[in-house]
């Protein structure tokens, strides 16, 4: 008899649980709306690594960049020249890397190369900003230019690594400034020395 009472109690509890679950399901069907959110997966940007001809430094770029295909170099002193390979935008990159031993210090090197850039791009000292991001002593300039009627957006970096002073120059049409400014910055700060 005792077993029957225990069995009866267990059955009643199970029925109550089933009824409660059934009521919740029914309520959900009548008025409760369950929303599901699809989590949007961000596509990983494929990266490429480019090493300067002199094997001093390397940069990492999105895969929309390739080696400059021109027969003649854009700049005789550059060790790396890249061009954007998308249909909708023209973007360019030059790297000039030099041994630190050839200069007294970063300031003396910067004074020389900035003096040349200053004349070429009509720059002022007050446009130069400083950064030590990623442990790299950097001076950089960001400027909109009008070059022979073309509206150009320029980013120019002067960077010091352990053994080298490097200029990283990137430019595009001003229409692409907003979209490419972060990409340019990320490329510049991916600068690393090549182990020899």
Q: Is the pLDDT of residue 79 over 50?
A: yes
Say what the pLDDT of residue 28 is.
Answer: 44
Instruction: Give me 75's structure tokens.
Output: 């700049």
> Residue 140 pLDDT > 60, yes or no?
yes
pTM of the model: 0.74
Structure tokens at 28: 């959900």
Residues whose CB falls within 8 Å of the CB of residue 163, separated by 6 or more in sequence, listed in order: 56, 99, 100, 193
Residue 18 has pLDDT above 50, yes or no: no
Residue 128 has pLDDT above 80, yes or no: yes
Domains and their CATH numbers in the chain: 49-193 (3.40.1000.10)
Least trusted range by pLDDT, from 18-32, 79-93, 152-166, 176-190: 18-32
Distance CA(171)–CA(168), nearest Å, equals 10
């Amino acid at each position: 008899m005792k077993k029957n009472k225990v069995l009866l109690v267990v059955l009643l509890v199970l029925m109550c649980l089933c009824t409660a679950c059934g009521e919740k399901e029914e309520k959900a069907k009548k008025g409760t709306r369950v929303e599901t959110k699809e989590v949007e997966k961000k596509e990983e940007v494929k990266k490429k690594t480019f090493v300067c001809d002199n094997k001093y430094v390397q940069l990492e770029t999105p895969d929309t960049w390739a080696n400059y295909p021109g027969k003649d170099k854009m700049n005789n002193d550059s060790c790396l020249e890249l061009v954007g390979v998308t249909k909708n935008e023209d973007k360019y990159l030059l790297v000039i890397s030099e041994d630190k031993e050839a200069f007294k210090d970063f300031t003396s090197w910067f004074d020389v190369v900035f003096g040349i850039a200053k004349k070429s791009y009509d720059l002022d000292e007050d446009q130069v900003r400083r950064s030590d991001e990623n442990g790299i002593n950097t001076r950089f300039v960001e400027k909109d230019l009008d070059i022979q009627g073309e509206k150009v957006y320029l980013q120019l970096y002067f960077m010091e690594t352990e053994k080298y002073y490097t200029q990283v120059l990137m430019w595009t049409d001003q229409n692409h400034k907003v979209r490419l400014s972060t990409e340019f910055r990320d490329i510049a700060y991916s600068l690393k020395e090549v182990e020899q």
